[in-house]
């Protein structure tokens, strides 16, 4: 499954970039689901500010495609559930009718519940703060008002902490380095190449986007998060002049961690699976539905939208916490 997604992404990139530019200049109306980023551009000197609240909930563990009950064999501690909330602040500016620049600032709040297998004591670890800032550009390869082909390129700056600590039952009241899922950033500069195709048909929009996350070198703690590959497609329909709905499918695959965090307790990989670098890879396919309201009157240019979904397929190098819910609520304002 992971190999199929990677091959599909590479084929899509090769096919789309072979198109020839036609009749550029007219910018299509942005109708993509709020959970998709970098899928529209702006006229020269056009501004857009945005805010998104994103939540991911995980509950229970999975190994491959099968659920695994606690206590997890071979470990002293079993992760039970995890919640990640992200507040994403964004700004877009049209440098020209063909090039739009964007900056995204994430603020994260992560919590994970655990159970000690021997005595069934439960505890929670938490981390919060600024994540990795992303600077990106969207370039129009094709834009004739009906069809648009956009080239995406982003650079993630390692502003998120990779030294988050908390107290656990075995630490005797002292804070210790938390495992990989509890860290706020990657610790590396990361590239995000991608390409987006949009087609407008009688008040509806078809969209396909392929993106990758490529890590550049090791971070300051001696490890590198796995590369990620994503392919998503959606259909949105204008129900009324200001209200639209959407359905989207998203497939993503990611690799294991290379290296090891030299600040982790050497016993951590024996204690809990979240500290194992060979148990972080996986593949997930999500089905999501969304709604969007483009305001009128004095609020013309403002859009409020929501999207919610859940996995329809998960294959994890486990035991690893499985995803149960993905939710995004957002606002966009054009000026």
N- to C-terminal Cα separation, the chain: 43
pLDDT digits (tens, 9 = 90+) for 85-115: 999 999 999 999 999 999 999 999 999 999 9
- Residue 213 confidence (pLDDT) above 50: yes
pTM across the whole model: 0.88
- Residue 29 confidence (pLDDT) above 50: no
- Residue 20 confidence (pLDDT) above 60: no
65: left (phi over 0), alpha (psi -120 to 50) or beta: alpha
User: How far is residue 253's CA from residue 42's CA, in Å, rounded to a whole number?
Assistant: 31
Beta strands in 42-98 (DSSP E): 47-64, 66-68, 77-94
Whether the Cβ atoms of residue 255 and residue 277 lie closer than 8 Å to each other: no
Whether the Cβ atoms of residue 125 and residue 143 lie closer than 8 Å to each other: no
Strand partners, 116: 77
- Sorting pLDDT into bands at 50, 70 and 90, what band is 40? confident
User: How far is residue 286's CA from residue 310's CA, in Å, rounded to a whole number?
Assistant: 5
Sketch out the chain's domains with CATH numbers: 2-334 (2.40.128.130)
- Sorting pLDDT into bands at 50, 70 and 90, what band is 21? very low
- Sorting pLDDT into bands at 50, 70 and 90, what band is 14? very low
Structure tokens at 157: 């700056």
Whether the Cβ atoms of residue 325 and residue 56 lie closer than 8 Å to each other: yes
- Residue 69 confidence (pLDDT) above 60: yes
- Residue 54 confidence (pLDDT) above 80: yes
């Amino acid at each position: 499954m992971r190999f199929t997604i990677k091959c599909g992404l590479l084929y899509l990139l090769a096919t789309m970039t072979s198109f020839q530019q036609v009749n550029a200049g007219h910018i299509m109306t942005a109708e993509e689901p709020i959970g998709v980023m970098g899928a529209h551009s702006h006229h020269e000197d056009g501004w857009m500010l945005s805010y998104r609240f994103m939540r991911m909930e995980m509950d229970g563990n999975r190994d491959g495609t099968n659920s695994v009950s606690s206590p997890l064999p071979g470990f002293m501690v079993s992760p039970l559930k995890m919640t990640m909330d992200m507040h994403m602040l964004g700004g877009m500016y049209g440098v020209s009718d063909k090039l739009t620049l964007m900056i995204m600032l994430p603020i994260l709040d992560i919590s994970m519940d655990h159970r000690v297998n021997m005595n069934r004591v439960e505890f929670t670890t938490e981390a919060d703060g600024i994540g990795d800032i992303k600077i990106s550009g969207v370039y129009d390869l094709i834009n004739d008002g009906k069809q648009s082909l956009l080239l995406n390129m982003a650079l993630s700056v390692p502003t998120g902490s990779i030294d988050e600590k908390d107290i656990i039952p075995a630490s005797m009241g002292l804070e210790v380095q938390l495992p990989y899922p509890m860290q706020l950033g990657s610790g590396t500069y990361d590239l995000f190449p991608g390409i987006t195709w949009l087609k407008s048909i009688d008040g509806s929009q078809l969209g396909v986007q392929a993106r990758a996350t490529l890590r550049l070198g090791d971070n300051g703690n001696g490890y590198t998060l796995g590369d990620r590959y994503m392919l998503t497609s959606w259909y949105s329909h204008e129900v009324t002049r200001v209200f639209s709905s959407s359905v989207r499918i998203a497939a993503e695959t990611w690799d294991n961690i290379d290296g090891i965090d030299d600040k982790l307790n050497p016993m951590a990989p024996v204690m809990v699976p979240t500290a194992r670098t060979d148990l972080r890879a996986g593949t997930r396919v999500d089905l999501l539905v969304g709604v969007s309201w483009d305001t009128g009157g004095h609020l013309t240019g403002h859009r409020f939208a929501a999207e919610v979904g859940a996995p329809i397929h998960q294959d994890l190098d486990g035991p690893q916490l499985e995803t149960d819910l993905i939710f995004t609520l957002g606002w966009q304002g054009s000026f």
